[in-house]
């Protein structure tokens, strides 16, 4: 089954404790991306990757890191989480067309709470 | 920069009513436009898309037409069901930049 998986689905942590949220896709997509969803702010892009070893900042990259060492995986790293990073996070992947990233396939989401 | 503006919700309707969700965008060039739907407790999934002016996307009874002259991509459905209760997001992407821009989302609640 074609899918994007994220782990963990729920995480409660404390300020400053490094964490990683994993994301994996089995569709051989070149494009992968992380978003955060906050009430009243909709969905905002954190980082994206066009292919292995190619990553770039989205609209809200501060406080986050990513890596793309393999095509299927795109982990999101919070080196020193802060309470303002409490949010619902989505990973997504897609093919890339001549018009840019195509239909995004989203993971189920990770609800992060930073105390 | 690019932006997408959606009507604020929540939108509350009775079953079989007509639904319209307005979406307008600001972008240079020729973006592709998408509508995604998020059902409670789930991730987003594609509802429909259009890649050039005057294209009409359609799926599950929903339709949206890419209007370049009014920079709009309004979502419509003629007769909603309770199962259409969800949050709907309008989004755009472009070849230049490779970023995606989403609107704020519109929550729709359909009552029996």
- Yes or no, beta carbons of A101 and B93 under 8 Å apart: yes
Residue A31 contacts residue B98 (beta carbons within 8 Å):
yes
* Residues sharing a CB contact under 8 Å with residue A24, sequence separation 6 or more, in sequence order: A4, A5, A72, A73, A74
- Give pLDDT, residue B9: 86
Residue A103 contacts residue A96 (beta carbons within 8 Å):
no
What is the percent of chain A with per-residue pLDDT over 90, rounded to a whole number?
86
Q: Which chain B residues are closer than 8 Å to A104 by Cβ?
A: 34, 36, 44, 46, 100
Question: Lowest mean pLDDT: which of A72-76, B42-46, B74-78?
Answer: B42-46
Task: Give the chain B residue whose CA is nearest to the CA of A51.
Answer: B98
- Yes or no, beta carbons of A43 and B96 under 8 Å apart: no
- Give pLDDT, residue B100: 83
Which residues partner with B5 through β-bridges? B24
Best CA proximity match to A37, nearest among A1, A69, A6: A6
The answer, yes or no, to whether residue B46 has pLDDT greater than 70, is yes
- Yes or no, beta carbons of B98 and A99 under 8 Å apart: no
Q: Does A96 touch chain B (CB under 8 A)?
A: yes
Q: Given pLDDT bands bounded at 50, 70 and 90, which one contains residue B64?
A: very high
Which residues partner with A31 through β-bridges? A94
Mean pLDDT in residue range B53-72: 96
Best CA proximity match to A15, nearest among A111, A101, A105, A83: A83
Q: Report the alpha-carbon distance of residue B85 to residue B31 in Å, rounded.
A: 28
Mean pLDDT in residue range A64-86: 97
Q: Does A39 touch chain B (CB under 8 A)?
A: no
Q: Report the alpha-carbon distance of residue B51 to residue B83 in Å, rounded.
A: 27
Measured between CA atoms, how close is A81 to chain B, in angstroms?
23
């Amino acid at each position: 089954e074609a899918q994007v998986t994220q782990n963990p689905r729920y995480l409660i942590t404390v300020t400053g404790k490094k964490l990683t949220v994993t994301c994996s896709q089995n569709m051989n997509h070149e494009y992968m991306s992380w978003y955060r969803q906050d009430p009243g702010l909709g969905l905002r892009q954190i980082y994206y990757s066009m292919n292995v070893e190619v990553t770039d900042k989205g609209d809200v990259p501060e406080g986050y890191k990513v890596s793309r060492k393999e095509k299927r995986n795109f982990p999101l790293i919070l080196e020193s989480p802060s309470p303002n990073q409490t949010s619902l996070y989505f990973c997504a992947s897609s093919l890339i067309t001549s018009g840019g990233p195509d239909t995004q396939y989203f993971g189920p989401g990770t609800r992060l709470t930073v105390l | 920069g690019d932006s997408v503006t959606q009507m604020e919700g929540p939108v509350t309707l009775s079953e079989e009513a007509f639904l319209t969700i307005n979406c307008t965008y600001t972008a240079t060039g020729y973006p592709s436009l998408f509508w995604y739907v998020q059902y409670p407790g789930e991730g987003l999934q594609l509802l429909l898309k259009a890649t050039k002016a005057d294209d009409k996307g359609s799926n599950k009874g929903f339709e949206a037409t890419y209007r370049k002259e009014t920079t709009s991509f309004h979502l419509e459905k003629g007769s909603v069901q309770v199962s259409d209760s969800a949050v709907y997001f309008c989004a755009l992407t472009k070849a230049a930049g490779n970023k995606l821009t989403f609107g704020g989302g519109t929550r729709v609640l359909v009552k029996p």
